[in-house]
Structure 1
Amino acid sequence: MKFSANKLYIEKYVKCANCGVLIYGPSIAARDGSGDVFCSDWCVDWKAARAASDAEPRLPLPREAREPSLQGRDMVAMKILEGNLVSICRDMGITLMKTAYSTIFSESLDFTCGLFAANGDMIAVGEFCPSMISGMPMIIKTVIQEIEPGEMEEGDILLHNDPYRGGMHTPEHLFFKPIFFEGELVGFSGAIGHVAEIGGVAPGSFYAEARDIFAEGLRVPPVKIKRRGEDNIDVWKILLANVRTPRTNHGDYRALIAAVDLGERRTIELLQKYGKEHFTQITSSLMDYAEERMRAEISDIPDGHYSFQDFMEDDGLVDQELRIHVDLFVQGDEIVADFSKSSPQAKGPINTPLSIPTAATQNAILQLTDGSIPKNSGCFRPIKIIAPPGSLLNVNYPAPEVGGNTECHPRIAYTVLGALATCLPGRVPAADGSTWSNFLFGGTDPRTGEYYCCYDVHIVGWGGSASGDGNSAVGSINGNCPMVPIEVYETRFPWIVEEYSLVPDSGGAGQFRGGLGVRKVVRCDADEITFSHMGDRHKRGSWGLNDGEEGQPGSFLFEEAGTQGWKPVTQVFNKVSSSKFANLTAHRGDRIQITTPGGGGYGLPSDRETASTAEDFSEGFVSRP
């Protein structure tokens, strides 16, 4: 990274030409004189090996030098401490949920809480939003390159949402608090969540037609929102002056702070119980144990080179598909996921920073491995992600990226799963709906006179698998986010929900059919509401597996008050994309219909049991027996 002479801004984001990570320290120059730089000799060798032999580069992953963990581990003590740490993370999440103001936190639980070692390694995490699990350690490791531990003090709380500095997408805000014990920095308590409104061009800050990062909302570099336990008032004023809903944002920020305060307090109690040295040894041992468990799982996957690809339908600005391609190399007890053949970065905001393919790849592998493996940085050590700079999956400044987290993450995860399907028969499901059909809206509430914003997520059908039909009406693979209950929805916002139902025939046919998507119809109950949408899978259905059929695509339709007949926004408002658009206006009586995709089918439809088909018909899941 090249900072200005006064250290106040970044002049150039320096990334490894192979894996795409940010380089803060010394770099390695390319041997061919191209001017490229690399983070390690391993990356130089890997790129050269791919160029020389696209099929089979075989190289060991670089292993970090670490202090040896406990010899002859005390498994009982290790599991007890792990349980305590995970329980703290869960309590942090419950605190956040119960004290937040916005529905994306209080109802949809779009956040994750974790605890970290002093070097940024994650030692424990709560089971909230999977897309954020790998994002948190990447952000913290980036921040401590810029704010050295010596500059942190007891009572500080730091805030960060910059996608170009290890972050995820712009709405994802990480609050983290250094944990001091006996005057020494021993770790961090962190809570990351999707803040529903951060300014920018569109209410809800999901500007689906953005051409650069500046349209997406306020981008915050690593700053101290609290210093030595006291509010940094100037930072608070800047944050709240740049959003449409300052009261709600203030409440959500306080909820995130309450979560990290709780994490710090409970961790110090454990340090007092175990002692710093013993606590550190056990957590280090726990990460080594997770690594060994994951390596054992990977060792059971046949060595080889496995490939798969899928396509995003457009970027909101250009009606052109974008490729997500993975070459997966399984080498003994290690995996390299190379996304070099994916599309170049897009003009519209469907790009991702490096944290997204990292999190999505790790998410996919967690889906196929033993669920009892501790979720910490250790279990991810055998997995390496390659996403070159300037690609769809590693966006360069200042290109837009707000849609990449919600929409690309599930597609990346299922691309990795699709690659593994050939070598792990019977273990990989067909694809789920792989979108959150993000519905953003805002306006002045006629009942209160206060400006409101909402980030409204939608659930999909999951793919069928060798063990049975896919589940219906479940969040996609990258989030455990429920929909906002109708009673809360109508109380908080001026919409009337006329329909909320499963969509018959939306699951792909198969021996085990895909789960059903959902349909929601809302009627505008205000003089004017500004709305936007960021989604995908309106053209391509979720792919089936082992001769299973595709699931039914989703849609977003509009009906003007006093008329009859649903129409896509491409027709009504002359938009490029039916799934990605921004700042349209609904008036009183106008109706909106959001339909989410069903999951793909698994196995030949002709192999489905007759009784199962009859039951589907009687339940209304299919329209004909």
Structure 2
Amino acid sequence: MSEHPAVDPAAVDAVTVEVVRSYLLAAAQEMRTTLVRTAFNPVIYEVLDFGISLYDEHLALIAEAPGLTFFLGANDFSLRKGVEHVGRENLHPGDIVMLNYPYWNAAHAYDATLFAPVFLPPESTETSGGDGFLVGFVCVRAHWMDLGAKDPGYVLDSTDVHQEGLLFPGTKVYSRGEPVRDIHDLIRFNSRLPDLVLGDLHAQVAAIRTGERRLLETITKFSKPTVDAAVAVVRARSEARTRAALAALPQGSWTAEDWLDDDGITADPIRMRVTVTIADGTFTVDFAGSAPAARGPVNMPFGATIALCKVVLKALTGPDEPGDEGSTAPLTVLAEPGTLFHAVYPAPTFTLWTGIVALELVHKALAQGMPDRVPASSGGDVPGFMMVGTHQDTGEFYAISNNDPVGWGGTAEHDGLDATIHLSESTVRSTPLEVLEARSGMLFERLEMRTDSGGAGRYRGGVGIRRDIRFVQPGEFLSVIKKTGSAPWALDGGQQSDPNQVIVFPGTERERRISTERVVVEPGDRITLLTAGGGGHGDPADRDPARVRDDVDQGLVSPEAARTVYGIGVRDA
């Protein structure tokens, strides 16, 4: 947590606190709107794979806008590392700094973080220097589609970070308001998709300029002391609320284990272990006992590990409140450097699906102490895929990706959601089918709910989907899943659900099942994706028969499963 100077909360009334808070949240939201409307890449404007946040001059989070769930906590780590690298004394009005060095950026190399210092102009304060007075920072992180890694698209089998693309440790892309042409050229000539990547860079710049403008307007309208006092009140209130919520939960330590399918290099499963402790208003997550750093690109930058733990803490203690520095102040995350959850140079980090599986691992540990507060496993993973190639209509190289929905785990109070983006990315969307078809060589012949894929229970797990793809152009299909070898877990007597499956060339002598792999495809080839359902919660025998019949009517549960699993006779349609 950042150090904050003493501020007198009595200096601002409750109404002003809420008005200032709303101004700051609106600034973040307007940054989000600007980014979505100006981005070139559908993973940004359709999927919403980005993170947007505002900070005070002490690098403490004061507001953020919805984006990729993991990114809501990752920008904090990145900004602090970036400012440390550049040096505050080297930041000036109009500067924008880019950071994608994984170990400092809390993400892989294709998640580009841009941040800018915000200065009040010299005429606004008597104590400022020639640059004015530093009052905060704005930050926009977004996924770029190519920065010159060894392979186009996702890098699935790198053994060194330098195989994963061009790296920026905190490099100015704008200096005093002017683009640094050498850096822009460096990006352009090291990307397979230069127009797309530079277009997204400029969209992030537009969002940053929007945030700068709105933050300055807020400070000018209310005064810096008033804004500081309002932010301090909100931060203290958030921290107190989080600690009180933790104190109301069961106290203790719980340990859980799980396994990744592989590291992309060998077929050996990768061990994950976590111990979660709730005590005296604190939340500690310790990954001791997890595997050492893997040879392949499944290693987690420590900032990304912290971010996934922030997601769990926020969901437990204040899911309906906007996040700020105070809401995660009680969190401590431990992971030994050089292990799976604390990658150090030059460990490869590109396939960050480890964090998705690990979020459910933390839930699995918590479920031992509070099975009524966390869901059963929600599919276990995010089933991702990508296609890269040369489009026959344009003759240009393309890369396009999608993350498919899964079934969420049942809870002590309700069924899991059907066909919904995994809870680790619950604020984003799948790429629309029409966009995928128009921009690639894929034709989707089937997209439907996957009957009986949810785990049975008093409250059943949600169902996954089936997606059948026929390829109409040659290219490479990339499957990215790290949880196919074991079924999503259930709770309190519920049943496990079907795991994720990727079937390449179904119905031919080449048919086989894969998890994370790059597959060369030709026109006429097919691939079937079967995404996992959620685990069930509670004994299936206790399920309301009316709910079972309704599930059968909707095609979510088959008549046979209704009879054999739930003991409910339902006439076949």
TM-score (norm 1): 0.85
In 1: Cα distance, 2:548 partner to 2:345 partner: 51
Aligned to 1:228: 176
In 2: Cα distance, 1:292 partner to 1:166 partner: 29
Aligned to 1:203: 152
* Structure 1 pair 455–219 and aligned structure 2 pair: CA distance change class (3 A): farther
Is residue 135 of structure 2 the alignment partner of residue 186 of structure 1? Answer: yes
1:402 CA drift (Å): 1.1
Aligned to 1:52: none
SS at match of 2:423: coil
- Which residue identity is paired with 2:517? F
In 2: Cα distance, 1:275 partner to 1:486 partner: 48
Aligned to 1:426: 372
In 2: Cα distance, 1:170 partner to 1:459 partner: 25
Report Cα offsets for 1:82-126 as digits up to 9, x if no partner. 222112212211211111111101211111211011222111111
In 2: Cα distance, 1:190 partner to 1:154 partner: 15
Is residue 538 of structure 2 the alignment partner of residue 603 of structure 1? Answer: yes
Aligned to 1:30: none
SS at match of 1:548: coil
SS at match of 2:340: coil
1:565 CA drift (Å): 6.7
Aligned to 1:540: 486
Report Cα offsets for 1:457-507 as digits up to 9, x if no partner. 211110001121100111112212211112222222222111111111111
SS at match of 1:325: strand
Query: What does 1:215-364 align with in structure 2 at a 5 Å threshold?
Result: 215-364=163-312
1:147 to 76, 86, 96: 86
SS at match of 1:196: coil
1:308 CA drift (Å): 1.8
Aligned to 1:68: 6
Aligned to 2:72: 133
Report Cα offsets for 1:342-383 as digits up to 9, x if no partner. 111111111101112211111112112233444011111111
Decide whether the 8 Å contact of 1:534 with 1:579 is kept in 2: yes
SS at match of 1:136: helix
1:580 to 516, 519, 533: 516
In 1: Cα distance, 2:193 partner to 2:163 partner: 17
In 1: Cα distance, 2:554 partner to 2:251 partner: 44
TM-score (norm 2): 0.92
In 2: Cα distance, 1:216 partner to 1:616 partner: 45
1:579 CA drift (Å): 1.1
Aligned to 2:550: 615
Report Cα offsets for 1:115-140 as digits up to 9, x if no partner. 01122211111122110111101011
Aligned to 2:431: 484
1:234 CA drift (Å): 0.5
In 2: Cα distance, 1:219 partner to 1:551 partner: 40
Aligned to 1:105: 44
- Which residue identity is paired with 1:581? E
Decide whether the 8 Å contact of 2:148 with 2:192 is kept in 1: yes
In 1: Cα distance, 2:344 partner to 2:350 partner: 13
Aligned to 1:89: 28
Aligned to 1:394: 342
Q: Which stretch shows the higher mean deviation, 224-233 or 414-423?
A: 414-423
* Structure 1 pair 565–79 and aligned structure 2 pair: CA distance change class (3 A): farther
Aligned to 1:413: 359
CA RMSD of aligned residues (A): 1.7
SS at match of 2:341: coil
1:80 to 15, 19, 22: 19
In 2: Cα distance, 1:285 partner to 1:434 partner: 38
In 2: Cα distance, 1:64 partner to 1:115 partner: 14
In 2: Cα distance, 1:429 partner to 1:348 partner: 30
In 1: Cα distance, 2:58 partner to 2:180 partner: 25
- Which residue identity is paired with 1:310? D
Aligned to 1:453: 399
- Which residue identity is paired with 1:511? R
Runs of 5+ in structure 2 lacking a partner? 122-131, 563-573
- Which residue identity is paired with 2:49? D
In 2: Cα distance, 1:108 partner to 1:310 partner: 28
SS at match of 2:43: helix
Is residue 379 of structure 2 the alignment partner of residue 442 of structure 1? Answer: no
SS at match of 1:478: helix
Decide whether the 8 Å contact of 1:360 with 1:409 is kept in 2: yes
In 2: Cα distance, 1:69 partner to 1:460 partner: 46
1:545 CA drift (Å): 0.9
In 2: Cα distance, 1:496 partner to 1:449 partner: 18
